[in-house]
């Protein structure tokens, strides 16, 4: 089902028209209400009247995560606090969290885009949706919650963690759709196996997975272990939360709700837009938000855009699965390394689990990369020779893919920390 056919199947001309009208309003709103962004526009000699359509988007200055931090907590809000009905925040890795505020209209818009996303994923009114994203300041839980209610499906608001109970409720309530991070989905599959519960004894048919990067291999693993269709959902708190984009049942890119969030792809070095279809950093401008409208927000996520009409009938532009972030990309001895590449190698090997931790140290002037890898139970042996052979095999496979050496250490199954939220795959101890 397509939730809002008029918008989701609009022609490019219609979409550009809607975007341009709302962009003009948003630029005015921001210029008049957010002093820090006004100052950036003034620096460039720009007045709101200079922005006449989406064609002019690239004239505008960027917004960075640091702008939100510098204006902590509410300095980027464009309405009085009496209009704000909810706040969320994202913790980030360092410093103060970034805080976002929603007006009543914003919450309605957010519910609408999440509902569209769920329909894209093939969820319908009769589904029972277990929401195992964290509820709280994180946008995952409440974001999915209101979108699911708006669709009319049944919500189980269990939040993250308490894995055995999650599985028990799946059994007892007949959960048909699970929403959580992909790494938590894999963890649940592991616990299910331990509990002796076969996936076909459950009613699960769909999974709405996002909030962290995951590979196509990981998708296949989750789909086969949980016997469901795994759908990728994307979003970030600064833009709205989950529902910025989502895959449809074709699993061929995530449709961006571009009547609300206009995407651009830029070269993260030159900051210039890249030619259509090329890989680069994703930038968003929100054009309907009231609480905290944001122009040209640099997501640091790397992807490309596809403007072709999808076989599902939607014309909303699609973004490819994010291959990583321009800033979690590790540069090790001059080589760009994405944690997702390592994950892919491990998933291709039958002896290993996709649970790993990458520890980067600097010894003298040299970067050293240590990789802890969990070995599958049946391959974990007392024979040093066997383990050493396996270690060498993993090392060779990783080196073959990344082009740099890595010090692999095998660890016992289930020893790398699991979380119900975003997994922490990389520990970078270098002081650069
Ligand atoms: O993670 C919102 C969300 C919740 C999305 C639930 C999907 C499901 P933040 O905590 O602000 O918001 O983190 C945003 O997470 O810039 C990406 O780097 C990453 N991310 C989110 N979804 C995906 C995805 C939520 N599907 C940051 N694939 C983003 C890859 C993702 N990365």
Q: Are 59 and 44 in contact (CB under 8 A)?
A: yes
Give me ligand 1 centre to Cα 236, in Å.
5
pLDDT for residue 91: 67
What number does the ligand 1 atom closest to the CA of 208 have? Answer: 8
Measured from CB, residues less than 6 Å from any atom of ligand 1 are 90, 133, 139-140, 210-213, 232-237, 241-242, 299, 301, 322, 325
Q: Are 262 and 247 in contact (CB under 8 A)?
A: no
Backbone angles phi, psi at 259, to 5 degrees: -75, -20
Same domain membership, residue 170 and residue 182: yes
Give me ligand 1 centre to Cα 416, in Å.
22
Residue 263 belongs to domain with CATH number: 3.40.50.12780
Backbone angles phi, psi at 88, to 5 degrees: -130, 165
Backbone angles phi, psi at 292, to 5 degrees: -140, 75
Residue 390 belongs to domain with CATH number: 3.30.300.30
Same domain membership, residue 177 and residue 164: yes
Same domain membership, residue 314 and residue 361: no
Give me ligand 1 centre to Cα 82, in Å.
29
Q: What residues make up the domain containing 319?
A: 1-327
Give me ligand 1 centre to Cα 213, in Å.
8
Q: What distance in Å separates the CA atoms of residue 41 and residue 390, rounded to the nearest whole number?
A: 57
pLDDT for residue 92: 52
Same domain membership, residue 235 and residue 222: yes
Same domain membership, residue 374 and residue 321: no
Q: What distance in Å separates the CA atoms of residue 300 and residue 104, rounded to the nearest whole number?
A: 29
Same domain membership, residue 165 and residue 202: yes
Sequence-distant (6+) residues with CB within 8 A of 306 are: 253, 277, 317, 318, 319, 320
Nearest CA among 233, 285, 251 for reference residue 117: 233
The alpha carbon torsion through 214, 216, 220, 222 (nearest 10 deg) reads 10
Same domain membership, residue 417 and residue 286: no
Give me ligand 1 centre to Cα 212, in Å.
5
Give me ligand 1 centre to Cα 381, in Å.
38
Query: What region, left, alpha or beta, does residue 277 occupy, with left being phi > 0 and alpha being psi -120 to 50 degrees?
Result: left
Same domain membership, residue 219 and residue 137: yes
pLDDT for residue 136: 93
Same domain membership, residue 156 and residue 120: yes
What number does the ligand 1 atom closest to the CA of 299 have? Answer: 16
Among 129, 142, 236, which is best to mutate for testing ligand 1, by the most ligand atoms less than 8 A from CB? Answer: 236
Give me ligand 1 centre to Cα 242, in Å.
7
Same domain membership, residue 200 and residue 347: no
Q: What distance in Å separates the CA atoms of residue 95 and residue 117, rounded to the nearest whole number?
A: 32
Among 234, 303, 420, which is best to mutate for testing ligand 1, by the most ligand atoms less than 8 A from CB? Answer: 234
pLDDT for residue 94: 47
Taking only the tens of pLDDT, the chain with its 432 residues reads 999 999 999 999 999 999 999 999 999 999 999 999 999 999 999 999 999 999 999 999 999 988 998 999 999 999 999 999 999 998 654 457 789 999 999 999 999 999 999 999 999 999 999 999 999 999 999 999 999 999 999 999 999 999 999 999 999 999 999 999 998 999 899 899 999 999 999 999 999 999 988 889 889 999 999 999 999 999 999 999 999 999 999 999 999 999 999 999 999 989 999 999 999 999 999 999 999 999 999 999 999 999 999 999 999 999 999 977 787 778 787 777 888 889 889 999 999 988 899 999 988 777 889 999 999 888 888 888 999 999 999 999 999 888 888 999 999 999 998 888 888 889 989 865
Q: How many structural domains compose the chain?
A: 2
| Radius of gyration (C-alpha) of the chain in whole angstroms | 22
pLDDT for residue 95: 57
- What's the CA angle centered on 111, arms 107 and 112, to 5 degrees? 115
Q: What distance in Å separates the CA atoms of residue 110 and residue 292, rounded to the nearest whole number?
A: 13
Q: What distance in Å separates the CA atoms of residue 205 and residue 130, rounded to the nearest whole number?
A: 12
Report the predicted TM-score, pTM, of the whole model to 2 decimal places: 0.88
Q: How many CA atoms does the CB half-sphere of 53 hold within 13 Å?
A: 6
Give me ligand 1 centre to Cα 134, in Å.
13
Number of residues assigned to the chain: 432
Same domain membership, residue 343 and residue 321: no
What number does the ligand 1 atom closest to the CA of 91 have? Answer: 10
Same domain membership, residue 275 and residue 315: yes
Which of 310, 327, 344 is where one domain is finished? 327
Q: What distance in Å separates the CA atoms of residue 372 and residue 415, rounded to the nearest whole number?
A: 10
pLDDT for residue 366: 78
Which of 327, 361, 396 is where one domain is finished? 327
pLDDT for residue 358: 93
What number does the ligand 1 atom closest to the CA of 232 have? Answer: 26
Which of 279, 311, 327 is where one domain is finished? 327
Q: What distance in Å separates the CA atoms of residue 98 and residue 238, rounded to the nearest whole number?
A: 8
pLDDT for residue 213: 83
pLDDT for residue 113: 98
pLDDT for residue 333: 76
What number does the ligand 1 atom closest to the CA of 241 have? Answer: 2
């Amino acid at each position: 089902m397509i939730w809002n056919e008029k918008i989701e199947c609009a022609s490019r001309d219609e979409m550009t028209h809607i975007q341009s009208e709302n962009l003009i309003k948003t630029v005015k709103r921001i210029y008049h209400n957010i002093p820090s962004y006004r100052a950036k526009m003034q620096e460039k000699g720009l007045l709101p009247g200079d922005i006449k359509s989406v064609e002019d988007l690239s004239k505008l200055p960027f917004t960075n995560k640091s702008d939100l931090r510098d204006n902590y907590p509410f300095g980027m809000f464009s309405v009085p606090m009496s209009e704000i009905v909810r706040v969320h925040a994202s913790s980030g890795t360092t410093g103060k969290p970034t805080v976002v505020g929603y007006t009543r209209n914003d919450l309605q818009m957010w519910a609408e885009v999440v509902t569209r996303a769920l329909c894209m994923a093939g969820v319908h009114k009769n589904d029972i949706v277990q929401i195992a994203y964290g509820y709280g300041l994180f946008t995952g839980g409440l974001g999915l919650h209101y979108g699911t209610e708006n669709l009319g499906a049944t919500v189980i608001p269990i939040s993250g963690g308490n894995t055995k109970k999650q599985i028990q409720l799946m059994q007892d309530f007949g959960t048909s759709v699970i929403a959580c991070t992909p790494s938590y989905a894999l963890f649940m599959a592991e616990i299910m196996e331990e509990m002796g519960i076969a996936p076909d004894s459950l009613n699960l048919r769909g999974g709405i997975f996002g909030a962290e990067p995951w590979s196509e291999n990981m998708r296949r693993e989750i789909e086969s272990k949980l016997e469901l269709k795994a759908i990728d959902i994307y979003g970030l708190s600064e833009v709205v939360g989950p529902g910025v984009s989502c895959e449809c049942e074709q699993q061929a890119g995530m449709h961006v709700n571009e009547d609300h969030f206009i995407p651009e792809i830029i070269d993260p070095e030159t900051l210039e837009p890249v030619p259509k279809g090329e890989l680069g950093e994703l930038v968003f401008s929100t054009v309907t938000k009231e609480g905290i409208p944001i122009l040209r927000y640099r997501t640091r996520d790397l992807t490309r855009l596809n403007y072709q009409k999808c076989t599902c009938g939607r014309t909303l532009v699609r973004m490819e699965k994010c291959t990583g972030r321009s800033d979690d990309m590790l540069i090790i001895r001059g080589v760009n390394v994405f944690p997702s590449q390592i994950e892919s190698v491990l998933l291709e090997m039958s002896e290993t689990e996709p649970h790993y931790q990458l520890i980067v140290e600097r010894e003298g002037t040299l970067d050293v990369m240590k990789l802890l890898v969990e070995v599958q139970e049946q391959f974990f042996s007392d024979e040093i020779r066997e383990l050493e052979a396996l270690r060498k095999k993993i090392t060779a496979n990783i080196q073959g893919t990344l082009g740099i050496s890595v010090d692999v250490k095998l660890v016992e199954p289930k020893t790398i920390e699991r979380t119900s939220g975003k997994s922490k795959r990389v520990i970078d101890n270098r002081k650069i």
